[in-house]
Structure 1
């Protein structure tokens, strides 16, 4: 055995209870420290993963921002190339088109209002005709009642006359 191996061996005759307790407590402290370091390392790993995800989101946001900036800059360059006269002409064309649309809608609105008023007058005429027909029907029903009363009265008179003919002359007096 080498000299170092001899030094690391514990001589059991010299070991006492206090030494054993110191070795055990040192071992416990070493285990506790080791466990804390492992937990700390795991926390750091999770934070690194989280930062990695945040970096990915951040990079995608920056990419979208640069794409938007590129779109805006190319639009600005295109607009810059268009002359003021062309822009004014396009603007005036759009205004004229809007005016025509508004006039068309106004004409349609006026036409629709005319049709509505015409239909309203037709409806009121029809209502008047219905009222007249209802009055005529009521009058006809009243006339029918009167005629039925006349018919009933006439039948009654006829029955009375018929009954008088069948009775002998001496009994009639």
Structure 2
């Protein structure tokens, strides 16, 4: 009994006896079990959150892809619309130029006709005056004057 190892062994057994008496190993095991359960629950929650995050990521990626497709469709439609508007503008411009050219040609033809009519009227007036001068010099008397006036009026109406 004099040995230190003996007293250490006795103290060790007394220590464990007191521990078992107060239920410390059971409490420690319960705490370890509850901590293990809490860790397992946290791991399960983390796994569930990760799955939810992956699901959301897939949804957002599909939405992004759909948005990119829609944007490409919008750009394509806008490009087609711009090309159509450019064609329409070009057609309208060609039509406008065509109408303006036709109007200008009509005005030129009208001006030519008017100039021709004015030249013809001037020629008629010159011919009437020349005829009047010739006839006055050759025909004399009151009959000549009435004949000349009547003839000149007939010539004017027929030539115009």
After superposing on structure 2, the runs of 4+ consecutive aligned residues of structure 1 that deviate more than 4 Å are 72-77, 169-172
- Structure number with bigger Rg: 2
The structure 1 residue matched to 2:100, chosen from 158, 166, 173, is 166
Partner residue in 2 for 1:140:
74
Structure 2: unaligned runs, 5 residues or longer: 107-160
1:68-114 Cα shifts (integer Å, max 9, x gaps): xx8x8886554243353634732222111111110000011111111
Alignment of 1:45-84 (within 5 A): 76=9, 78-82=11-15, 84=17
How many residues get paired? 102
The structure 2 residue matched to 1:126, chosen from 60, 71, 76, is 60
The structure 2 residue matched to 1:90, chosen from 13, 18, 24, is 24
Q: Which has the higher contact order (CA 8 A, sep 6+)?
A: 2
TM-score (norm 1): 0.51
Structure 1: unaligned runs, 5 residues or longer: 1-69
Partner residue in 2 for 1:111:
45
Partner residue in 2 for 1:21:
none
